[in-house]
Amino acid sequence: MSERTVSPVPDLLLRTLARLLRPLVSLLIRSGVTYPVTADLLRDLYVDVALRDILTDAKARTDSRVSLLTGVHRKEIRRQRATPGGDEGTPEVVTLSSQIIARWLGAAPWAGAGGVPVPLPRAAPDGAPSFDGLVASVTKDVRPRAVLDEWLTQDLVRLDAQDRVVLNVDSFVPRPGRDEQMFYFGRNLHDHIAAAAANVSAVAKAPFLDRSVHYDALPVAAAEQLEAMGREAAVRMLLDINRRAMELAEAHDPPTGPTRRVNLGVYLYAEDEASAPAAPSGATRPHEPEPQP
């Protein structure tokens, strides 16, 4: 990424930023994270981004240059250089669980028609699908019983009348406050903002997908119907993409050259609107913005 890109006017960007940050600031306040703590984090992040992402020429990464770009005092820059931090990476539990569930949803013999996960006996003869075999196909380092116990605690799976393990697809959401949830919270918001920022700055060679359909002033019952339809369509799409991704992964040997990360996500948000005069007939209409050029 170069230092100069096509960017919006700073005043417009700041107004947009205030709206973007509002739910995050609300989360921080509710979680007991005060402004001084956030300000320290943001200051250090400015320096880190300048050093890692903006100043691609190592010779240009002087304290004076970083200070000029970020507005951070050179004393703080020297302090941060002396105590560099590192990315935490992906929690092991996230990596393991996501790999096992992806295989259950997208690869034979564990996935049925349309990506519907097959109920699995805990153990089965060689060649027959089982939960133990599913876990063993991903890792030999963790006992299948340990995975099952953890997933039962998280309500990711249940045991049916035949003592088979059944994946609760509708409940495949990490519990609030767990490491898994915070990982996906950070990764998914990061990738969505990164795609939108690349589009706005004209950094990407081709615009990233960033589109939505939204209606205003809907009756509550109509909004609930759209929410249900959206959830169903999103799950169907994600299952299809996962199944194809598993096919591609199984068809290719581990890559020896450059690799690429792909994250396709969907979101749905609804909120009650403040009371307002009724809109004229036909005034409510869908909007589907095109990606930024």
Q: How far apart are CA 143 and CA 227, in angstroms?
A: 39
* N-to-C CA span, the chain: 17
pLDDT value at residue 285: 43
The residue whose two tokens read 């598993």 is: 246
Q: How far apart are CA 32 and CA 154, in angstroms?
A: 26
Could you check whether the bond before residue 8 is cis, i.e. omega within 30 degrees of 0? no
pLDDT tens over the chain, length 293 residues: 444 455 667 888 899 999 999 999 999 998 889 999 999 999 999 999 999 899 989 889 999 999 999 999 999 999 888 876 655 566 665 678 888 988 888 888 888 776 678 899 999 887 789 999 999 988 888 899 999 998 898 888 999 999 999 998 765 565 565 677 788 888 899 999 999 998 888 776 778 999 999 999 999 999 999 999 999 999 889 888 988 888 888 777 777 788 889 999 999 999 998 765 444 444 344 444 444 43
Q: How far apart are CA 204 and CA 65, in angstroms?
A: 26
What residue spans define the domains of the chain? Answer: 92-171
Q: What DSSP designation does 155 have?
A: T
**Per-residue burial over 1-21, b = 16 or more CB atoms within 10 Å of its CB, e = otherwise:** eeeeeeeeeeeeeeeeeeeee
Query: Measuring CA to CA, how many Å separate 4 from each of 54, 70, 97?
Result: 9, 14, 41
Q: How far apart are CA 229 and CA 241, in angstroms?
A: 18
